[in-house]
């Protein structure tokens, strides 16, 4: 009995004490707002998360994105049968990110962050607002005007009237105005010394101004040129900007570009006498004095597979290569140093082959930027010469006949290598070149970067000084400023590139210059869209050179005794693995509004043609 | 015990046999067929590439996603559907006709035939093709129906398959200064006649500001 008593008391004590606060513990995995916003390391890692969520459009983490336009084609595996651009092409709709950024802004502005000095707080707020402006900008250029939700962080609780959270779409001009206004303020909040910005990975004053200039230029050119597509508009101007606002926007773009130029913090990289090499270094070497904002990578931890995917076969470090390879159209878009027509001279006037002693002779006197952008036959990479050879041509009954083989195969009866290990071929093997070129821009020269396991830490340049000059040139041209001034900006770029300067500039020259200068940098699609020429250039006609992918197939001549023995000839031919011409329909000027978004927000109107 | 196991086995087999069936729909069995027509005549469009389409919507469901109904090049369309009431609409600027916001209610019960009347900007009439050695000659009349949009160009195309349009062709000629209503186009098809096993011809008219054009509803085999 006494024992029972004792047991009872023990049990009572046990129940009386053991459960205290058991369900009331603080989580070890969830950090509270005041833990985050009082600690600079926490805040920085939150900001890093935002920087990591804004990779959209054509970029180096998506090699296939480069095969959609007129820069490159698919080269690995079977043919690509893209016929139309997707109705959701590169559209951005990320209100989750915008809400997260607004939460961040609320945290930074609250008492919890009071321990930071005002300067730091200001910078953090500016960066978050820059990322938000960049997000809106990416939405605007793909979808037109979208709802502007301001700084408010919306919370839903059971019973909340959701209609108060449903915002109608802004006008297209209204959203560009918002981005421009935000960037104007952000520029005053962010540091202006690029020296403290490791690898240009964080936004500073100049990135904000570049975004401002770019947004204003986009708005201006849409205002000026949307008369060419009168049906690409909505009744409420969610898509379409009135023509009378064009000069106002051009002036904003011009002034913002001038501010960066006068600011003098950036300059075109021009340190290497080898102009082709210099252009590669300007974009692909971290620390380049012209890069304003980039997505940076670092090994170990943050790497990507662009080098691994797209390197030439003979220098690859792993099995992968040639996922996408540049096409002849891009190569011919590069001018000659003294000739504006960049067409490669493979045949003479009467249609007969021109025989070249060395494969690289075909590319003699091309714009040196071609070397920095594309690996062509006879060019070097990492100290090795890359030679593309589709086959051997030999004489039979006085006519040139062709023999090809699998990549790397040789035959002594035809004097050695028949088809180079680097291709090109027309078969559907994986990782084999199909166009006769490889990309050099954004390809890492570090040997190990081309392996799957390591990856590359090459950055992706989003904004650089050359773009500022191009914006200044285009805005100056459209504002009717003197040709000498317009040409002055472009000639800085052309002079650095190492090609002849111009005296008369037209809009066509600007489109051309942007195409070659910014190849693979996610400009081409948006440029052709905002200037309303995409449907003319990519018109879906298989006989239109501009809309169709072409390849360059080099052949070695094997004809002992013939004066042309051992020389090289080149065939231009339709790229075997891009089956259809590029077809840009009017509806592609703005991606479609997803039906799901309309379901949850009925105030959202559809885009044209939708 | 053994009896129990046997019983359980039989029961579970029975369960497997009967349990399905309640929550499955039958496949849609009714077909909607028709043409996009003007005055009862079908309109020729681009048939490749999923270019021209109508949309079917159905009310009464919480989530709305249209069913795209693609037109073939003779202007016909077909869709396999459940019985019910649908709304048939065209999207702005998609087909070569004046965009209209009218909705056509379609009642589907069993196979249904229903045309979709449209107002094209132009129609092509009296289309004739004639092959003279290597020269293919096509003539036709343009009848303006709703001339709020200009003619961008008229074109004669050939292709080695039955699908002939602005995108799918091996040879074409186009005339961008359309003057008068009677059009004659000549195209030298010597090389195509030599290299292609079969050759089909078709004429088309491209309208300003719309991706699609109006075509002859028929293609003509010339080889």
Can you give the three-state secondary structure of A264-293, one letter per residue? CCCCCCCCCCCHHHHHHHHHHCCCCCCEEE
**Residues A587, A608 contacting (CB under 8 angstroms):** yes
A486 and A506 in contact (C-beta within 8 Å)? no
Contacts B66 to A, Cβ<8 Å: 595
> Omega into B180 within 30° of 0, i.e. cis?
no
* Residue A31: band (very low, low, confident or very high) from pLDDT cuts 50, 70, 90: confident
Q: B14 pLDDT band (50/70/90 cuts)?
A: confident
| Residue-range definition of the domain harbouring residue A164 | 48-54+87-296+463-536+587-600
Express each pLDDT in A557-595 by its tens digit: 999 989 999 999 999 999 999 989 999 999 999 999 998
A420 and A528 part of one domain: no
State the total domains in chain A.
Answer: 2
Sign for the pseudo-dihedral over CA of A445, A448, A452, A455: negative
| Total count of domains within chain B | 2
CB B179 within 8 A of CB B217: no
**Same domain for B217 and B203?**
yes
- Mean pLDDT confidence for A226-231: 89
DSSP code at position A339: B
The pLDDT assigned to A217 comes to 98
Query: What is the CB neighbour count within 10 angstroms for residue A357?
Result: 10
pLDDT > 90? residue B21: no
Considering the domain architecture, whether residues A513 and A552 belong to the same structural domain is answered as: no
Q: Are residues B104 and B186 in the same domain?
A: no
Does a structural domain hold residue A12?
A: no
Q: B61-107 pLDDT, tens per residue? A: 776 788 889 999 999 999 999 888 999 988 877 888 887 767 889 99
Please enumerate residues of B whose Cβ is less than 8 A from a Cβ of A.
48-51, 62-66, 91-94, 166-169, 172, 209-211
Instruction: Scan residues 214-233 of A and list those with Cβ closer than 8 Å to B.
Output: 229-231
Is A270 in the same domain as A379?
A: no
Domain, as residue range, for B147: 122-221
Dump pLDDT digits (tens) for B152-199: 899 999 999 999 988 888 888 888 888 888 999 999 999 889 988 999
Residues A345-354: pLDDT tens digits?
A: 999 999 999 9
- In chain A, pLDDT over 70 holds for what percent of residues? 97
Instruction: Report chain A's mean pLDDT, rounded to a whole number.
Output: 93
Residue A17 has pLDDT above 70, yes or no: no
Q: What is the CA radius of gyration of chain B?
A: 25
Q: Please give the pLDDT value at position B8.
A: 82
* A583–B167 C-beta distance less than 8 A: yes
* Residue from the list B65, B167, B211 with its beta carbon closest to the beta carbon of A541: B167
Chain B interface includes A240 (CB < 8 A): no
How many Å apart are CA A458 and CA A280, to the nearest integer? Answer: 12
- By mean pLDDT, which of A235-244, A409-418, A524-533, B49-58 is the weakest? B49-58
Query: Is residue B80 located within the same domain as residue B168?
Result: no
What's the CATH number where B69 sits? 2.60.40.1120
What pLDDT is recorded for position B150?
A: 86
- pLDDT in the model for residue A306: 96
Assigned token pair, A547: 């809309």
Contact of A378 with A437, CB cutoff 8 Å? no
What is the three-class DSSP state of A425?
Answer: coil
ipTM of the complex: 0.71
Are A344 and A338 in contact by the 8 Å Cβ rule? The answer is no
Shared domain check, A277 and A204: yes
Same domain, A193 and A235: yes
pLDDT at position B23 is 66
Is the distance from CB of A328 to CB of A436 less than 8 angstroms? Answer: yes
Q: Which residues of B touch A599 (CB under 8 A)?
A: 62-64
| B11 within a domain of the structure (yes/no) | no
pLDDT tens digits for range A392-441: 999 998 899 999 999 999 999 998 999 999 989 999 999 999 999 999 99
Residue A478's CATH number = 1.25.40.390
* A98 C-beta neighbours (distance < 10 Å), count: 20
Tens of pLDDT, residue by residue over A58-84, are 999 999 999 999 999 999 989 998 888
pLDDT-based confidence at B29, cuts 50/70/90?
A: confident
Closest CA to A79 of A582, A541, A579, A580: A579
**Is B205 a domain residue?**
yes
Dihedral sign of CA atoms A63, A67, A72, A73 in order: positive
Residue A504 domain-assigned? Answer: yes
**Whether the predicted pLDDT of A19 surpasses 60:** no
* Model pLDDT, residue B18: 63
* pLDDT (average), residues A505-514: 96
Same domain, yes or no: A453 and A480: no
In this complex, do B93 and A542 lie within 8 Å of one another by their Cβ atoms? Answer: no
B4 CB-near residues (< 8 Å, 6+ apart): none
């Amino acid at each position: 009995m006494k024992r029972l008593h004792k047991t009872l008391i023990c049990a009572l004590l046990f129940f009386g004490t053991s459960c205290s606060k058991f369900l009331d513990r603080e989580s070890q995995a969830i950090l509270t707002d005041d833990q985050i916003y009082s600690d600079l390391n926490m805040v920085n890692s939150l900001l890093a998360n935002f920087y990591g969520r804004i990779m959209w459009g054509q970029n180096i983490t998506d090699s296939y994105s480069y095969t959609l336009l007129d820069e490159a084609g698919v080269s690995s595996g079977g043919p690509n049968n893209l016929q139309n651009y997707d109705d959701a092409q590169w559209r951005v709709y990320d209100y989750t990110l915008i809400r997260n950024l607004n939460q961040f802004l609320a945290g930074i502005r609250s008492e919890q962050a009071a321990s930071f000095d005002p300067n730091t707080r200001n910078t953090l707020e500016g960066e978050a607002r820059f990322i938000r402006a960049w997000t809106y900008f990416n939405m605007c250029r793909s979808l037109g005007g979208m709802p502007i939700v301001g700084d408010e962080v919306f919370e839903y609780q059971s019973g909340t009237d959701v209609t108060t959270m449903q915002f109608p779409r802004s006008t297209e001009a209204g959203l560009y105005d918002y981005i421009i206004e935000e960037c104007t303020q952000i520029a005053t909040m962010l540091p202006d010394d690029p020296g403290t910005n490791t690898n240009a990975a964080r936004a500073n004053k100049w990135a904000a101004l570049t975004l401002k200039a770019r947004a204003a230029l986009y708005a201006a050119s849409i205002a000026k040129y949307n008369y060419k597509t009168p049906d690409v508009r909505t009744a409420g101007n969610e898509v379409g900007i009135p023509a009378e606002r064009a000069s106002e926007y051009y002036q904003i773009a011009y002034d913002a570009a001038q501010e960066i130029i006068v600011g003098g913090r950036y300059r075109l990289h021009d340190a290497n006498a080898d102009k082709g090499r210099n252009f590669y270094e300007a974009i692909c070497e971290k620390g380049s004095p012209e890069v304003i904002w980039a997505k940076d990578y670092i090994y170990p931890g943050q790497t990507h597979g662009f080098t691994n995917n797209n390197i030439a076969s003979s220098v690859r470090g792993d099995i992968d290569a040639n996922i996408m390879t540049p096409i002849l159209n891009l190569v011919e878009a590069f001018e000659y140093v003294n000739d504006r027509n960049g067409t490669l001279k493979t045949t003479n006037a009467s249609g007969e082959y021109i025989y070249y002693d060395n494969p690289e002779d075909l590319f003699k006197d091309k714009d040196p930027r071609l070397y920095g952008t594309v690996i062509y036959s006879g060019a070097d990479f990492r100290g090795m010469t890359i030679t593309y050879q589709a086959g051997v041509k030999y004489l039979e009954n006085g006519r040139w006949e062709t023999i090809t083989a699998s990549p790397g195969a040789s035959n002594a009866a035809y004097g050695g290598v028949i088809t180079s290990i680097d291709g090109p071929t027309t078969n559907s093997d994986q990782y084999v070149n199909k166009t006769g070129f490889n990309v050099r821009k954004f390809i890492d020269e570090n040997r190990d970067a081309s392996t799957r396991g390591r990856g590359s830490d090459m950055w992706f340049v989003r904004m650089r000084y050359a773009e500022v000059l191009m914006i200044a040139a285009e805005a100056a041209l459209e504002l009717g400023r003197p040709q000498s001034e317009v040409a002055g900006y472009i000639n800085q770029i052309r002079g650095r590139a190492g090609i002849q300067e111009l005296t008369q500039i037209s809009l066509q020259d600007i489109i051309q210059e942007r195409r070659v200068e910014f190849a693979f940098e996610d400009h081409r699609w948006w440029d052709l869209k905002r200037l309303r020429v995409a449907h003319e250039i990519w018109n879906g006609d298989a006989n239109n050179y501009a809309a169709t992918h072409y390849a360059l197939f080099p052949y070695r001549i094997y004809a002992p005794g013939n004066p042309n023995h051992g020389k090289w000839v080149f065939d231009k031919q339709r790229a075997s693995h891009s089956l259809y011409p590029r077809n840009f329909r009017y509806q592609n000027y703005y991606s479609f509004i997803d039906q799901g978004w309309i379901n949850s927000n009925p105030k959202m109107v559809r885009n044209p043609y939708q | 015990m053994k009896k129990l196991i046997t019983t359980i086995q039989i029961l579970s087999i029975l369960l497997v046999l009967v349990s399905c069936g309640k929550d499955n729909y039958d496949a849609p069995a009714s077909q909607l067929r028709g043409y996009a027509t003007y005055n009862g005549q079908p309109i020729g469009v681009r048939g490749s590439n999923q270019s021209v389409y109508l949309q079917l919507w159905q009310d009464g469901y919480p989530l709305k996603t249209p069913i795209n109904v693609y037109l073939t090049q003779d202007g016909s369309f077909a869709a396999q559907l459940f019985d019910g009431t649908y709304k048939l609409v065209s999207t702005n600027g998609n087909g070569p006709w004046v965009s209209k916001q009218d909705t056509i209610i379609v009642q589907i019960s069993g196979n249904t035939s229903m045309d979709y009347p449209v107002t094209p900007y132009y129609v092509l009439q009296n289309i004739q093709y004639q092959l003279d050695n290597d020269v293919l000659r096509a003539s036709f009349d343009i009848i303006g129906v709703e001339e709020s949009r200009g003619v961008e160009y008229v074109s004669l195309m050939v292709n080695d398959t039955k699908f002939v349009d602005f995108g799918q062709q091996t040879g074409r000629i186009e005339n961008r200064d359309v003057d008068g209503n009677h059009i004659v186009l000549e195209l030298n098809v010597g090389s195509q006649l030599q290299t292609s096993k079969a050759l089909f011809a078709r004429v088309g008219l491209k309208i300003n500001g719309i991706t699609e054009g109006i075509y002859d509803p028929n293609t003509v085999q010339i080889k």
